[in-house]
Amino acid sequence: MKSKVTLTVNGKERSAEVEPRTLLAELLRDHLGLTGTHVGCDTTQCGCCVVHVDGKAVKSCTMLAVQAAGKQVTTIEGLAKPDGTLHPMQEAFREHHGLQCGFCTPGMVMMAVDIARRRPGADEKTVREELEGNLCRCTGYQGIVEAILSVVNPGAVKDHHHA
C-alpha cells in the first residue's frame, strides 16, 4: 500500500515511501528526521505540530502526508539561516522569554510567523485570539504574546521582563 511522496521541505526536495494513512507530522518526524515538529495532542487542538504548507500554518497531525505531495513545507528547522542566525521571531521568543520547557515552542513560533504574515500591526487582544489553536502549559503565554507583539507591533509591548 505504500507509495512515494515527493514534496519540498525547507527548500529541499524530499521523498519518502509512506502509507496513505501516514500523517504529515509522521512523515516529517519519522521518515525525514525533522523532529522539531512536535506532536502533543494528536487531536488538532494543541498546535505543537504547526508547520507551513504553501505558506500557510496548518496542523501537521491533521493532514495526510500524501496530501502534501508537490507542496512547499516549512518546519521550525527551516526558519533559521544556514549559518545559525535565528529568524527574527525565534530571536523575539528568546529575548522575551517566550518559552520554558520548549515543547509547544516549534508550533508557537510557526504560528507566530503566520500571524506576522496575516496580521501585521495586530494588537495584544488580536495576538491572543490568533493563538487560540496553540496551547502552552508552562510559560502562561505572557512572554509568547510579548515576543509576537515585538515583531508585529513593537509599540504595543508591555515588557515585564525588561522593566
Please give the residue ranges that form the binding site for other proteins (CB under 8 A).
Answer: 1, 3, 19-21, 42-45, 47, 50, 53, 56-59, 62-64, 66-67, 69, 111, 114-115, 118, 130, 132-134
Distance CA(155)–CA(153), nearest Å, equals 6
Instruction: Collapse the DSSP code of 18 into the 3-class scheme (helix H, G, I; strand E, B; otherwise coil) and give the result.
Output: strand
- First-to-last alpha carbon distance for the chain, in angstroms, is 58
Instruction: Collapse the DSSP code of 15 into the 3-class scheme (helix H, G, I; strand E, B; otherwise coil) and give the result.
Output: strand
Q: Which three cell numbers stand for residue 99?
A: 518559552
CB contact set of 82 (below 8 Å; sequence gap of 6+): none
CB of 64 or CB of 104, closer to other proteins = 64
At its nearest, how many Å lie between other proteins and the CB of residue 163? 31
Residue with cell 509568547: 144
Type of residue found at 131: L
At its nearest, how many Å lie between other proteins and the CB of residue 67? 7
At its nearest, how many Å lie between other proteins and the CB of residue 12? 23
CB of 66 or CB of 86, closer to other proteins = 66
CB of 83 or CB of 132, closer to other proteins = 132
Q: Which three cell numbers stand for residue 37?
A: 515538529
At its nearest, how many Å lie between other proteins and the CB of residue 82? 27
Residue with cell 490568533: 130
At its nearest, how many Å lie between other proteins and the CB of residue 44? 6
CB of 54 or CB of 85, closer to other proteins = 54
CB of 32 or CB of 127, closer to other proteins = 127
Q: Do 109 and 93 touch, CB atoms closer than 8 A? A: yes
